Amino acid sequence: MVAGAYGGYPLDRRLLIGAGAYWLDSELTELSYFGPLVEWSTKTGGGRCDLSVRALVGLGSATRHGTVGTFLYYDTLGETHDRFGADVSALSFPGRFGRGFARGFGRGGGFGGYYDEFAVAEPHVSLLTRVTDWFGVNMGVGYRATGDDFDLGDSLSGASFSLGFRFEPS
């Protein structure tokens, strides 16, 4: 699950200019990205629900962990091929064998990681339901698109769902 936060300065109670940061730290993937964002809200006055649309455009980095076999496969002739279209020279398998691609490991052995940086764009639509005059629950859907230069392919792109809480006077 990706966690994150965003905030900013509201203009005219409908437009928010700010920044956001999101991160994930799991056993197999470390991910973080951040950037400026803009959000527009319907702000229906005294209504209980508001619709908002926001977009973040920024930069991020990720490390995908695994064995050499996670990133490479060998064909029947014994030739090495990379999965995901990754630049295998960027793989790092630190430890007693030093840094560098699969140094000292046999086929499929060893554990290491692949690090890369990428551009990210994340449009998002959400519905705010006010519970009280100063507290609301925000539920939404979005899509995280990582740049084409991310060497692990689009494995970090995908749909996102959010649940948030808003503290502000209505």
pTM for this entry: 0.69
Note the pLDDT tens digit of each residue in 116-131: 788 999 999 999 898 9
| Burial of 73: CB neighbours in 10 Å, binned 0-12, 13-18, 19+ | middle
Alpha carbons 102 and 82: distance in angstroms, whole number: 13
Query: Rounded CA gap, 105 and 70, in Å?
Result: 13
Report the alpha-carbon distance of residue 136 to residue 131 in Å, rounded: 5
Burial bucket for residue 103 (CB in 10 Å: 0-12, 13-18, 19+): middle
Give backbone dihedrals phi and psi of 63, rounded to 5 degrees, phi first.
-125, 125
- Mean pLDDT of the 140-168 span: 80
Q: Using the predicted structure, report yes or no on whether residue 103 has a pLDDT greater than 60.
A: no
Quote the pLDDT of residue 68.
54
CA distances from 139 to 12, 37, 163, 170 (A): 22, 18, 5, 17
Cα gap 69→131, rounded to integer Å: 51
How far is CA 147 from each of CA 82, 117, 122, rounded to the nearest angstrom?
A: 19, 9, 11
pLDDT confidence of 106, banded at 50, 70, 90? very low
- Residue 43 gets the label, from left (phi > 0), alpha (psi -120 to 50) or beta, of left
What residues contact 91, with CB distance under 8 A and at least 6 apart?
68, 71, 101, 102, 112, 113, 114
Q: What is the pLDDT of residues 40-90, one digit of tens each?
A: 998 765 678 899 999 999 999 887 776 655 555 555 665 555 555 555 554
Range scoring the smallest mean pLDDT among 51-60, 88-97, 107-116: 88-97
More confident of the two residues 93 and 153: 153
